[in-house]
Structure 1
Amino acid sequence: MNNTYILPVIKEIDIIKKYLSIFCEPAFGCRHLKFTFTRVLISTTLSIVVSLKQIIQQKKKMATRTKDEPVSDTSSSSGESEPSKHIKTNTEKKTFSCDTCDSSFSSQTDLKRHLRKHTGEKPYSCEKCGSSFSLKGNLKKHMQRHTGEKPFSCDICDSSFFQRSHLKYHLTIHTGEKPFTCGTCGCSFSSKTNLNRHVHIHTGEKSFYCHVCKSSFYRQADLKRHVRVHTGEKKFSCEICKSSFSRKETLKGHMQTHGEKTFPCEICGSSFSLKANLKEHMHVHTGKRLFSCEICGYSSPIKGNLKGHMRVHTGEKPFSCEVCGSSFSHKASLKLHMHIHTGQKPFSCKICGYSSSLKGNLKGHMRKHTGEKPFSCQICGSAFTHKASLKTHLSIHTGLYTR
């Protein structure tokens, strides 16, 4: 490096050292004055050292830039500085226009990148899974999912994320910030996605339709997931046993059957295959309900419970029966439904041996033994063991017979 940049700084440091060696306690008359003066000199020294480091780093960058990207003769002869170039870039006319949406750009490269939104062109492909992207930056972000790299970490709970935007949304859980407000009812939400999902409650709009069975959905992702029921596509495969599934959630749950549950709960003895699941489970014992519904106030210590609860508001039913196509909002409901196809009847009466594939049927059956009649007629006071019996009874009062 050129000594021209370093020598002046070294000289200033030498002068400070000289002052520190000359002045002593008698010359100042008191210790407080000496301490104050010394503190000022040390502070100045540190500032100079920082400045020296910045000069060195700047010179290194300029040397690297000169080596890798030599400045053209035209720019050097013009004597145009970097700041003036920056101003020129931001003030130059946007002469390249999009014929589709009238957006304009200052360079043809920016216009070319923009046109991919209209053409659907995705020139950047992932070599591992085949996914393609319109922007190189999006491919770079996608690759983190294969490498497992999560560079953005929460300083409060140590959660980590692939993207900065995911971390930003996560932080609202701790801060309680809800910047997105519904203009109809005044409810506020932590993300724009949740607000858009909420708005459908007021509009009732389900703009995504299935061309096979005419079912409608709020989101395109839900429709895409539903269509697999008709096509039979099972794009999510287990690398261990080669089982395939139509839903990513189903595969994720299946993978836990292979993993060893090495993380036990010291309080209740439950064990988990993932440390994150154990950490979340501990909220059940501490009573912390960190996950709340922004619509009705429901709260739960388990994030998965809140996710399942939200389907009550959205109407989403992501768990489909691969035999008959019936869909359910909860995985447990699908599991119970499958007993109908397998013929399995795991719910048995300990008194008379009655068995059923559904837990609700056993619950209704038990009322025969207990004599419980929870369904009452509000007109005459008659009580019944089953809701269907009450419905039939009401026809006596209404005159409308129903079977």
Structure 2
Amino acid sequence: AYACEQCNRVFLQKGNLKVHQRLHTDERPFPCDFENCEKKFRSNETLRRHKLTHTGEKPFTCVTCNNKFSSKVSLTEHQAIHDNTKNYKCEECGRSFRQISCFKRHQVTHTLATPYICDVCGKSFSQMAYLRSHIRIHSGQCLKPFSCDTCKKAFAHKSDLTRHKIIHTGRLKPYRCTHCNLRFSDRSSCKRHIREHSQARPYVCYKCGEGFKRTGQLKVH
């Protein structure tokens, strides 16, 4: 077995460890050779999947809703929405996730590793993407560089823009409440709604201990 010296994750193959270590160094040795595309990737497999965004090829189809995907991994994660399965379970705390990308981001919270440091103020981050977003504060760049082509609304993160675009496309709302079957276009709205059915009050006042279902209610309190 091969262990990462920075976060202690263990891999069975040395090649997988090498790809993983690029998360810490942000090394991206595989550039896209399509014209006007300057993106680079940590692995050849990630580059291969990226190239499908240029060709438009989506060979994997969901048998439930006929949505098409460029990779089998994306299809598998999408299908979990329909059957409400969460295949990726954290061994540290027991939380489960539908998407491996969310699962990996969550795992970093247990290691407390923040190897990406801002040269300006010294603040450190667990992921390079978070550091890049933070650096825009110092550089004076637009804090919301991702804009919608349809309504021109701007967002700080590309993932927020992707969720927003669902409003314009009219695509099936993939997130369903398990209590009343109401559907939502993004996961966070669905989670907030589900809490209305349950007694969970995750936002707790540190002074009096009272819990609230929404962060807005805690702020008012």
**Please, what TM-score do these two structures have when normalized by structure 2?**
0.54
Q: Which structure is larger by alpha-carbon Rg, 1 or 2? A: 1
Which residue is 2:158 aligned to? 303
- Once residues 9 and 46 of structure 2 are traced to their aligned partners in structure 1, the CA distance between those partners, rounded to angstroms, is 21
Query: Is the Cα contact below 8 Å between 1:153 and 1:160 reproduced in 2?
Result: yes
1:302-341 counterparts in 2 under 5 A?
A: 303-308=158-163, 313-314=174-175, 316-317=187-188, 324-325=201-202, 337-341=214-218
Closer, same or farther in 2 for the Cα pair 1:192/1:235, shift >3 Å?
same
1:241-280 counterparts in 2 under 5 A?
A: 241=123, 253=130, 256-257=133-134, 260-262=137-139, 264=141, 271-272=142-143, 278=145
Which residue is 2:9 aligned to? 131
CA RMSD of aligned residues (A): 4.8
Counterpart pick for 2:80 among 183, 195, 200: 200
Query: Is the Cα contact below 8 Å between 1:197 and 1:314 reproduced in 2?
Result: no
TM-superposed deviation, 1:164: 0.9
Query: Is the Cα contact below 8 Å between 1:124 and 1:135 reproduced in 2?
Result: yes
Match of 1:158, SS?
coil
- Higher-helix-fraction structure: 1
Closer, same or farther in 2 for the Cα pair 1:196/1:162, shift >3 Å?
same
**Mind listing any 5+ residue stretches in structure 1 that lack a counterpart?**
1-122, 265-270, 290-299, 327-336, 345-403
Query: Is the Cα contact below 8 Å between 2:7 and 2:113 reproduced in 1?
Result: no
Higher relative CO (Cα under 8 Å, sequence separation at least 6) belongs to 2
Write the deviation string for residues 254-302 of structure 1: whole angstroms up to 9, x where unpaired.
87456544264xxxxxx24xxxx74xx3x65xx389xxxxxxxxxx9x7
Which residue is 2:33 aligned to? 155
The answer to whether structure 1 residue 169 and structure 2 residue 75 are counterparts is: no
Closer, same or farther in 2 for the Cα pair 1:288/1:164, shift >3 Å?
farther
Match of 1:174, SS?
helix
1:225-244 counterparts in 2 under 5 A?
A: 235=112, 237=114, 240-241=122-123
Closer, same or farther in 2 for the Cα pair 1:128/1:308, shift >3 Å?
same
Matched residue type, 1:138: N
- Once residues 218 and 97 of structure 2 are traced to their aligned partners in structure 1, the CA distance between those partners, rounded to angstroms, is 27
**Mind listing any 5+ residue stretches in structure 2 that lack a counterpart?**
167-172, 177-186, 193-200, 204-213
TM-superposed deviation, 1:340: 2.7
TM-superposed deviation, 1:222: 5.6
- Once residues 5 and 158 of structure 2 are traced to their aligned partners in structure 1, the CA distance between those partners, rounded to angstroms, is 33
Match of 1:130, SS?
coil
- Once residues 189 and 325 of structure 1 are traced to their aligned partners in structure 2, the CA distance between those partners, rounded to angstroms, is 35
Aligned residues: 174
TM-superposed deviation, 1:342: 3.3
**Please, what TM-score do these two structures have when normalized by structure 1?**
0.33
- Once residues 325 and 234 of structure 1 are traced to their aligned partners in structure 2, the CA distance between those partners, rounded to angstroms, is 23
- Once residues 151 and 338 of structure 1 are traced to their aligned partners in structure 2, the CA distance between those partners, rounded to angstroms, is 42
1:316-395 counterparts in 2 under 5 A?
A: 316-317=187-188, 324-325=201-202, 337-343=214-220
Aligned residues: percent identity?
A: 30
